[in-house]
């Protein structure tokens, strides 16, 4: 049957299709962030390379949407800010999750070929959806913290970065300490060993794929949540900080020396935090 033959050909090309989908998703997410995430000005205008961002005064620029410069957010503002955080997490975290997603696609295809599964339509996208839902939960929490810090005058309304030496220093030192913590190490080991993770938590069918993706997402959140907190220091929409953190996360998870890169970054962040408190 033509339909069956077409389906089999697609299965054989699932790695290519999945990889193209990941690249397209990341590309669209980065484009959305770079163009300003609906905030009224591009991320390039909110990007700076200051070593101590809290020294820069908060200046509201023409064109910035009024909700972003107010302490009260309406429903549309909350929706936009949660979407901003979530799509930013998609842009930053999907590349480091790609090896696990691709391995899941391979394992699922093999299970289908061996007639170990009956659900031929348990999509790889369901696994990815479960992963991204974990980051959606994180994004809701991040948006709530964002609102609280902005309302308290601790982060700027335009650059969305720290205006407080104590906030900057505390977050930098806290992130550095977390990089060296046992919990970070446990979560990073799971993220760096996708084969072991899949074999340990595997469940069949669509619901199992969603659950498996969500579990993987929880480990990734546990691994990187404190690093994402650094965006409150340099600026939530600061492309320089976003790119640097994305590269650090990818290095930790994908490179053979990733664990030591993470530990080294922890010491750097602590020194940076101490310097921030002193200047």
pLDDT at 231 over 90: yes
Where exactly are the structural domains of the chain?
A: 2-278
Half-sphere exposure of 170 (CA within 13 A, CB side): 8
Which pair of structure tokens corresponds to residue 122? 């348990």
Q: 175, 226 in Cβ contact below 8 A?
A: yes
Q: 99, 73 in Cβ contact below 8 A?
A: no
How does residue 17 score in pLDDT terms, banded at 50, 70 and 90? confident
pLDDT in tens, 251-273: 999 998 999 999 999 999 999 99
Q: 268, 276 in Cβ contact below 8 A?
A: no
pLDDT at position 54, please?
A: 73
pLDDT at 50 over 60: yes
Q: 149, 167 in Cβ contact below 8 A?
A: yes
Q: What does the angle CA 126 – CA 256 – CA 180 come to, to the nearest 5 degrees?
A: 85
């Amino acid at each position: 049957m033509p339909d069956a033959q077409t389906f089999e050909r697609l299965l054989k090309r699932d790695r290519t299709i999945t990889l193209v989908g990941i690249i397209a998703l990341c590309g669209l997410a980065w484009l959305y962030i770079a163009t300003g995430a609906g905030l009224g000005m591009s991320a390039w205008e909110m990007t700076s390379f200051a070593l101590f961002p809290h020294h820069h005064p908060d200046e509201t620029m023409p064109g910035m949407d009024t909700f972003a410069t107010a302490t009260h957010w309406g429903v549309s503002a909350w929706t936009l800010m949660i979407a901003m955080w979530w799509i930013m997490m998609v842009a930053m975290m999907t590349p480091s999750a790609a090896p696990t997603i691709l391995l899941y696609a391979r394992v699922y295809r093999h299970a289908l070929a061996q007639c170990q599964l009956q659900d031929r339509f348990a999509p790889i996208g369901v696994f990815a959806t479960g992963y991204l839902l974990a980051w959606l939960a994180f994004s809701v929490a991040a948006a709530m913290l964002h609102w609280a810090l902005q309302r308290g005058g601790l982060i700027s309304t335009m650059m969305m970065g720290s205006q407080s030496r104590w906030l900057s220093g505390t977050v930098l030192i806290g992130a550095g300490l977390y990089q060296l913590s046992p919990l970070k190490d446990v979560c990073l080991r799971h993220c760096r060993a996708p084969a072991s993770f899949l074999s340990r938590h595997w469940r069949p069918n669509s619901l199992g794929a969603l659950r498996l993706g969500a579990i993987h997402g929880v480990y990734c959140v546990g691994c990187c949540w404190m690093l994402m907190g650094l965006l409150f220091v340099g600026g939530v929409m600061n492309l320089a900080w976003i790119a640097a953190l994305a590269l650090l996360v990818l290095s930790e998870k994908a490179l053979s020396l990733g664990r030591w890169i993470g530990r080294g970054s922890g010491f750097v962040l602590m020194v940076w935090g101490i310097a921030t408190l002193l200047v």
